[in-house]
Amino acid sequence: MIRLVNHLEKILDVSKVFKRYISKNFEYHEEVVMAMKTKKPIVALESTIITHGMPYPDNLNTAIEVENIVRTRGAVPATIGIINGQIHVGLNKTQIQNLAEESCGPKSAIKCSQRDICSLVAGKLHGGTTVGGTVTIAHLAGISVMATGGIGGVHRGVEQTFDISSDLVVLGKTPVAVICAGVKAILDIPKTLEFLETLSVPVISIGEDDTFPAFYSRRTSDSIKSPSSILTTDEAAECIRAQRSLGINSGLIFAVPLPESVALDSSEIEKFIDMAIRECDDKCIRGKSVTPYLLKRLTDLTEGRSLTANKVLIKNNAAVAADIAVKLSKLSEEKFTNVLTSSREEQLLGFPVVIGGVTEDTTLAVEEPAIQFDGRTHKGKRRQSFGGVGRNIAAALIAIGIEKAQFLSVVGDDNAGVDIIRSLPSAEETIDKLSDKITARYTGVTDKNGECKFGFGEMDIFKSIDADFVKKNYSRIEAARLVVLDGNLPTESISEVINIAVQCQVPIWYEPTDAKKACKIFESHSEWQTVLHFISPNIKELFTIGEYFSIKSCIDESKNSEIDIIKDISEKLGRYVPVIMTTLGSNGLLVVRKSWREDLFYLRGEKNKISLIENDVKVQSRIYSPLSTISVESKRTYSVSGCGDCLAAGVISGIMKGMDEASCVNLGLKAAGICLESLETVPKTLINLR
């Protein structure tokens, strides 16, 4: 048996190939995206029950009812399926209907287990995901609870066929909890339980009866005892939490007996199953076709009673799964240390705190070839959004997966202020709403390439991010592993942040915001050099900082490029600031530091603080090319607004996750590339970088 397990794991482990498709082939339903942003519980649902498990229109009606049940219990449904090679985490009603209708047509979807995902994506095909396929995708999407009817397992007559569902192997190595009515009754339940034990998958019944449910029946004909049993969904959530905290990477199976009112007699259903299996053998039906055939045949033999039971049990399982997900969401607010995960995979460095401005932005996008300053009217479009360097970095951090990132700022007691607070998790606790102020406003004018030519702002409210505001947030700054400051803060506020950072050994990242504010941090406090570890200027801001330190390039401008001059100034500035990340527009990012590209930025130090990594090498500079550029011939509308902020957020996310320099920058450039191709300053699609 163990030899068989090892063989199957080698066959089914396609995770390395699959990860290439995560960012460009995953599509999240808006409801799921919002749930992830607001930390609302999510329940994954399979789509094989739509494509292969029930006849039309029962499959359609049941799928929609199941989703609604999950919603009414306080969770968000995420039906998972593959459409035209695109992996969908959450389907809309039209997509569900299309899959349901195709189940009875000539172009029916393919039954998709973990091993089939890559071929369906590459071939741009449709797929109904099995338990194994759904669990795989759910885990990659960060969803930890799934509901289904019944799991696959060891087929009867396995001695001759070796037919064992890949669901079991996937559950043996994927930390997702599956709520089901046990193993499908057409399978060999005792052998399936034995195989799950071999794979170290916990199997736990929920309810007062300690026997294992048999899908259509509340117990098997010989009343097999469940390996483990609990009474409530709260206990189930505690089991999931305990497994997470211990770093155990297998799934869990929670078996829920179907309601007594629709349960079939176990002896009666066994006779029908034996009959259907004999027919299957006589017709030489094998592989993926076995289960759909047997389910359809049982519907006929039971005169529809098995189909009724199937519909009721999946709805019941969905309700139980939602209850577990809701409870787990509450428990997950607590912090755990994963003792089995390596330091590079853990988010060792805690959460960042961003302090800066947030604005209501208006962008006036000129669509003509050139902007003329002669009083004429230009053709263009007007867009409104939320912005501000600090807000953009914080929102991007949260979207990329640093969900504990905190944003400290102020808004006015107006509609814009209310909407800004609603748009960010936990913002009610960290953003002050001032009754006598209006929310900061910014208006920018961009050319046809999306480059901002000039802007103006009403930002008097930023004066309220004063020293008293900083002192009030002492405990948040003290607990941070990195403080990110933008140049919109008053000088005295920056000074107070440095005061606290020096006391608490918290490193600072400074985002200059614009050339006029680039040197604020150097003028604010005599001990800035103790805690300032990062600055992320653009070219103009870098030159301004260079002038402040009387740094002059020795490079002949007539014989060398601007990039060579930028590198020279940055390397000299490296004597004052440990890490300088200069954005070079279409030329990418210049990183200057006393370390190799393979080095981490930080190590965990005493008292969980972090220490900067510097090697005994001279200051080095490396240019990283952009991953996305604007084509001159392209007629698409682009905006560079927010690209630098998303880049910074990507790099910071990598630092929080313990990545080396090259990986951090790669994550940042991916985020910037996504932003470049969007008109949003912080695109929703950044979630694909998690």
The conformational region for residue 130 under phi > 0 = left, psi -120 to 50 = alpha, else beta, is beta
Q: Is 105 helix (H, G, I), strand (E, B) or coil?
A: coil
Element (H, E) at 467: helix 467-472
How far apart CA 176 and CA 95 sit, in angstroms, is: 25
In the annotation, is 184 catalytic?
yes
In the annotation, is 46 catalytic?
yes
Task: Look up residue 456 and give its DSSP letter.
Answer: E
Residue 306, CA distances (Å) to 215, 301, 646 in order: 10, 9, 53
189 and 213 in contact (C-beta within 8 Å)?
no
54 and 88 in contact (C-beta within 8 Å)?
no
Q: Which residue has the tokens 């004052």?
A: 576
Closest Cα partner for 157 from 285, 250, 30, 52?
Answer: 285
257 and 223 in contact (C-beta within 8 Å)?
no
564 and 555 in contact (C-beta within 8 Å)?
yes
179 and 147 in contact (C-beta within 8 Å)?
yes
Q: Which residue has the tokens 């999931």?
A: 240
The conformational region for residue 318 under phi > 0 = left, psi -120 to 50 = alpha, else beta, is alpha
354 and 484 in contact (C-beta within 8 Å)?
yes
Please state whether beta strands 127-129 and 431-434 pair in parallel, antiparallel, or not at all (unpaired): unpaired
Which of 111, 173, 184, 520 is labelled catalytic?
184
How far apart CA 564 and CA 238 sit, in angstroms, is: 58
For the CA atoms of the chain, what is the radius of gyration? 29
Question: So which residues are the catalytic ones?
Answer: 46, 184
